[in-house]
A and B are shown apart, each in its own frame.
Chain A
């Protein structure tokens, strides 16, 4: 094998670089590409945008974990198709409805208190079926509210305090998360997080944090889907980025270009776990490389991103990065930053797509 200059440099630096690598999140980015696609028993399911993790798939049944409020999925069966198909969606939006194309009778539709939607459709007319699953009237722009919460970690034991306050907040459509749901990202911890979430009346769409990287490979995507994704809701674009390794992988940056272009004429909210720059620079709870951070921020600002949301730092900070409003909110209960007089909290954002206003307020829990 010929030794290219990068490999030569790599060889020189091998001892120094043994502790780290240049693309620690590359594997997760490649796994992101697989989220939402599954094949089994002569059926193939594809969730557009990877907006849901396929938890279980049988010929006549699929179980999804929704990672976005509006889902579009397609089925393709080997002939002959089953008579009926059952679609169950965990972390489902309240009032979600299913719209099949081509038209198929909806035999059953409902959402239980834990946020699980169940739909049964049949008889199927062909070997392909496309389903839209979303609350009605959420494709067109209209004002709404969403919440933001991150960094629960070991405070999962008390997370119900936060959920009960959040449940009392009026008119919140969903909760957006910037990672660190668990301490180590183990199966048990991810399952516990999911169980606790059942008492929250709204779905939780989140990326992962560095605390989900305690297992290798990370299990997050198996449970909650993509680390990096982008979706539109009521005329506002939301982009979640996997910065759990204090960097964005170049693969994600390629996707980001498309998402920024898609959101150019909309209000655009970008959330990630580790902020590009820490407002307290000497701490550097931020990207490992400040030049990479500046390059990303410049790219977001040039594309007209309206709001940036971060976690990782267990406090609340409001500042500007590259001229964009930035909020660090790590108020889920994980080891709190002392002397900040904040405590557990979450954010509520009032979004008005018509004016592209995104007003952020802090709701204290303690």
Chain B
């Protein structure tokens, strides 16, 4: 409850922005923050200093707190930007509404295509991706609309602008899936970064329960924060094509599957689009995977191939990473369209079961520059909860 009071209080005194700023200027503003970053500790940037000249006084809110915060939820769910409009932040309100409109347009266009073609094999991939992007963008637009109205002016933290050389973690994963007996997993992960390159290995093993999953991945950071040896990123936004291979063995159940995937993953800090909304980000991914199933059966054992549409849409907050404390992290709420892995896809009691993926929350926090924790929970065909200890090497 205290946190909520704090958020409301901060929101009520936030600065207002009413001017329309072209996107190019947004990038310029982000670059300016990157200059500030140069003076900071590795991977961490202090908060922007107060402007030397007094800013113009913000316009009076159209309604006192907590009405804007309430309006962000309703009617904000229907009309994104309702809350910030009451706070007299017209540009932010307009852009949220524009984002919502784009999301709805994409959703309806994709839905129309799926409906009219009967989800035909030749067009279903792009149509389904459009539907996920549309619905997902609607979701993150709504979350951004709530965050914009509720969060303090500078958010709750800043992004890392240089990534650690090595991030190792070990932990525990609990999986509850009524279709399988496995429950308890030991997990380990190593992610190495150098310049723009990323290599990652991830393993989850259920001792004595006949289940193990191994994943290897690599990526190249085209834009955004990179590993040691490269210049710091201007903010947390990035673009990274990636490839991965995973092998998931279900020894007790007599089958295994392997996935080879290619995806484009990216992040956009919210203040690039909504200049007065700091400390949050949009996350997204689109890709394609081939999946092979092998069955433990007597006689010839054919490998059967199928495909997976990869899509991920999330909204997250940066936590900490300010000043010289070098501590902090981030938390992200997301939808992931995958139907493999531990969570699988969502089961819906009605007409719509099958196509949907799963939801999740991923949070991480560095208690020191080296040591931190990571928590992930997902809900799809199964519920999972994982907790890791994280060691970073800079």
Cβ-defined partner of B346 (8 Å) among A20, A314, A340: A20
A13 contacts B379, C-beta separation under 8 Å: yes
B347 partner, pick from A284, A288, A322, beta carbons under 8 A: A288
Q: Give chain B interface residues in 215-232, CB to chain A under 8 Å.
A: none
Within the assembled complex, what's the spacing in Å between the Cα atoms of A336 and B118? 5
Return chain A residues, CB-CB under 8 Å to B353: 24, 210, 244-247, 274, 288
Chain A nearest Cβ from B248, distance in angstroms: 7
Q: How far is the CB of B43 from chain A (nearest CB, A)?
A: 30
Q: Is the CB of A280 within 8 A of B344?
A: no
The distance from the CB of B257 to the nearest CB of chain A, in whole angstroms, is: 6
B361 at the interface (CB under 8 A from A): yes
CB distance from A268 to the nearest CB of B (A): 15
Within A52-96, the residues touching B (CB, 8 Å) are none
Task: Give Cα A315–Cα B117 distance, bound, in whole angstroms.
Answer: 11
Residues of chain A with a CB closer than 8 A to B347's CB: 20-24, 245-247, 288-289
CB distance from A143 to the nearest CB of B (A): 27
- B74 within 8 A of partner (CB): no
Is A298's CB under 8 angstroms from B254's CB? yes
User: Interface on chain A toward B: helix, strand, loop, or mixed SS?
Assistant: loop
Q: What are the residues of chain B within 8 A of A13 when measuring CB–CB? A: 377-379, 383, 385
Residues on the A chain within 8 Å of B178, using CB: 22-23, 250
CB interface residues, A 261-288, toward B, < 8 Å? 274, 277-288
Best-surrounded residue of B119, B291, B301, B309 (most CB of chain A within 10 A): B119
Chain A 277-307, CB within 8 Å of chain B: the 1/0 string? 1111111111111111011011001100000
User: A-B pairs with CB below 8 Å: how many?
Assistant: 226
CB distance from B125 to the nearest CB of A (A): 4
Distance between A366 CB and nearest chain B CB, rounded to angstroms: 14
Complex: A267 Cα to B385 Cα, angstroms: 43
Smallest CB separation, A54 vs chain B (Å): 26
- In the bound complex, do residue A322 and residue B125 qualify as a contact, i.e. CB atoms below 8 Å apart? no
Does B112 touch A at the CB level, under 8 Å? no
Q: How far is it, in angstroms, between the C-alpha of A20 and the C-alpha of B345 when the chains are bound?
A: 10
**Chain A contacts for B356, CB-based, 8 A:** 19-20, 288
Is the beta-carbon distance between A210 and B125 smaller than 8 angstroms?
no
Residues of A15-59 contacting chain B, CB below 8 A:
16-17, 19-24
Q: Which of A16, A19, A290, A298 contacts B361 (CB 8 A)?
A: A16
The stretch among B11-19, B92-100, B188-196, B292-300 that forms the contact with chain A is: B292-300
Least CB separation from B361: chain A residue: A16
Closest-CB distance, B300 to chain A (whole angstroms): 7
Known: A5-B174, A289-B339. A338 touches B117 (CB 8 A): yes
- Chain A residues with a Cβ closer than 8 Å to the other chain, count: 64
Also in contact, A291 and B355, with CB within 8 A (given A245-B347, A282-B125): no
Judge whether B108 is part of the interface by a CB distance below 8 angstroms: no
Whole-angstrom distance from the CB of B151 to the nearest CB of chain A? Answer: 19
Known: A20-B348, A282-B309. Contact between A337 and B381, CB under 8 A? no
Q: A211 within 8 Å of B by Cβ?
A: yes
Decide yes or no whether B260 CB sits under 8 A from chain A: no
B245 interface hit (Cβ, 8 Å):
no
Q: A5-B174, A16-B378, A290-B257 are in contact. Are A210 and B352 (CB under 8 A)?
A: yes
If the complex has contacts A291-B340, A302-B297, A338-B120, are A20 and B253 also in contact, measured as CB distance less than 8 A? Answer: no
Looking at the complex, which one of B248, B288, B304, B339 makes contact with A284 (CB distance below 8 Å)? B339
Give the CA-CA distance A281 to B248 in the complex, in Å.
18
B176 within 8 A of A: yes
Q: Tell whether A335 is near chain B: CB-to-CB under 8 Å.
A: yes
Q: Is the CB of B302 within 8 A of A280?
A: no
Contact between chains at A288 and B179 (CB < 8 Å): no
- On chain A, the residues within 8 Å of B124 by CB distance are 280, 282-283
Q: Is A216 an interface residue (CB 8 A)?
A: yes
Residues of A within 8 A of B339 (CB): 284, 286-290
Given A282-B125, A337-B117, the answer on whether A12 and B385 have CB atoms closer than 8 Å is: yes
Which residues from chain A contact B383 at a C-beta distance below 8 Å? Answer: 6, 9-10, 12-13, 17, 22
Is residue B177 within 8 Å, beta carbon to beta carbon, of the partner chain?
A: yes
Q: Are A216 and B350 in contact (CB under 8 A)?
A: yes
In the complex, besides A282-B288, A295-B179, 9 extra interface pairs with C-beta distance below 8 angstroms are: A13-B377, A17-B383, A24-B348, A184-B351, A250-B178, A279-B306, A282-B308, A294-B293, A298-B255
Q: List A residues at the B interface (Cβ < 8 Å).
A: 5-6, 8-10, 12-13, 16-17, 19-24, 184, 210-211, 213-214, 216, 244-247, 250, 253, 274, 277-292, 294-295, 297-298, 301-302, 312-315, 320-323, 335-340
User: What are 12 A-B contacts defined by CB distance under 8 Å?
Assistant: A10-B383, A20-B346, A22-B381, A184-B351, A246-B345, A246-B347, A288-B356, A288-B380, A289-B347, A291-B250, A292-B381, A321-B304
Q: Give me the 4 closest cross-chain CB pairs, A-B, nearest first.
A: A289-B344, A281-B307, A246-B353, A289-B381
